[in-house]
């Protein structure tokens, strides 16, 4: 079975290393190369693929050094290939790619950036969400509209409840404070925050997050329409 390692990088980013039983590995969103190389060396893994969810540096700045060190192939949204650079394979919505015997489904999820994608791995019940969706939060609307992001969220909402989400940042507690401000009486939210607080006190990531819990607690994901999402996002920007 392929394993997923959560690598804290930069200030509050996560890169994820997927290690197959044969020692081949892929990395999602390497915003820095060093910690990824250190992990690969320590666990004697061969990096075959680099995947990016979007073009921001904290998600792809490690690409080139990793490619030079390992010869790995870079896979990224086709719409952002020029911004990212040295992309070997551009992907679009609905693409299915097999990496180290695992099926990756590409979901276009514009909003944070216009070309943002999520990678869905049905066999692992896993969704890599980049800065589209965080635990208890969502990315800022830098390029897309609230309408774009709301439609992206409706796609995520169709995934099975037992999907685990792996976002690009550790923002759970800060996001949780905002969700609690909006929905003070949501007991599922109170539970998620308590559990996340305990994990963070032990220096542990709050990631991955069960999509079932996000569906009950994340006020952005639960927005009824684009207008409500827009109002929440604007309020969060000032929170």
* Least distance between Fe ion and beta carbon 176 (Å): 18
Q: Report if residue 170 touches Fe ion, rule: CB under 5 A.
A: no
Which region, judged by CB under 5 A, interacts with Fe ion, from 44-52, 96-104, 119-127, 128-136? 128-136
The Cα 177–Cα 189 span in angstroms is 10
Helix (H) or strand (E) holding 5: strand 3-9
The Cα 220–Cα 77 span in angstroms is 24
Tokens 């990793």 correspond to what residue?
A: 66
Looking at the chain, the number of H-run helices and the number of E-run strands are 9, 14
Which region, judged by CB under 5 A, interacts with Fe ion, from 14-22, 62-70, 168-176, 188-196? 168-176
Alpha carbon dihedral 199, 153, 28, 67, in 10-degree steps, equals -150
Please say which residue, 168 or 208, places its beta carbon nearer to Zn ion: 168
Please say which residue, 76 or 193, places its beta carbon nearer to Zn ion: 76
Tokens 């904290």 correspond to what residue?
A: 58
Q: Which residues contact 80 (CB under 8 A, 6 or more apart)?
A: 52, 54, 55, 113, 114, 115
Please say which residue, 31 or 176, places its beta carbon nearer to Fe ion: 31
Q: Report if residue 56 touches Zn ion, rule: CB under 5 A.
A: yes
Which region, judged by CB under 5 A, interacts with Fe ion, from 74-82, 167-175, 202-210, 221-229? 167-175
| Among 29, 80, 95, 131, contact with Fe ion (rule: CB under 5 A) | 131
| Among 29, 58, 95, 214, contact with Fe ion (rule: CB under 5 A) | 58
Chain residues in the site for Zn ion (CB under 5 A): 56, 131
Chain residues in the site for Fe ion (CB under 5 A): 58, 131, 168
């Amino acid at each position: 079975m392929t394993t997923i390692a959560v690598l804290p990088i930069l200030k509050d980013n996560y890169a994820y290393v997927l290690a197959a039983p044969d020692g081949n590995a892929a990395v999602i969103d390497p915003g820095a190369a060093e910690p990824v190389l250190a992990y690969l060396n320590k666990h004697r893994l061969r990096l075959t693929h680099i995947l990016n969810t979007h073009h921001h540096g904290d998600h792809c700045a490690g690409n080139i050094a990793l490619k030079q060190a390992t010869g790995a192939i870079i896979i990224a949204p086709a719409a952002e290939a020029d911004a990212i650079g040295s992309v070997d394979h551009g992907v679009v919505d609905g693409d299915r790619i097999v990496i180290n015997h695992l099926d990756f489904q590409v979901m276009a999820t514009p909003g944070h950036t216009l070309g943002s994608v999520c990678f869905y791995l049905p066999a692992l019940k896993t969704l890599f969400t980049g800065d589209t969706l965080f635990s208890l939060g969502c990315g800022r609307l830098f390029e897309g509209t609230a309408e774009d992001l709301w439609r992206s969220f409706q796609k995520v909402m169709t995934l099975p409840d037992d999907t685990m989400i792996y976002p690009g940042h550790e923002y759970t507690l800060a996001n949780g404070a905002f969700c609690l401000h909006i929905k003070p009486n949501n007991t599922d939210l109170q539970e998620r925050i308590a559990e996340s607080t305990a994990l963070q006190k032990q220096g542990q990531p709050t990631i991955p997050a069960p999509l079932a819990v996000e569906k009950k607690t994340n006020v952005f994901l639960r927005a009824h329409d684009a207008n409500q999402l827009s109002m929440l996002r604007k309020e969060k920007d000032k929170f």
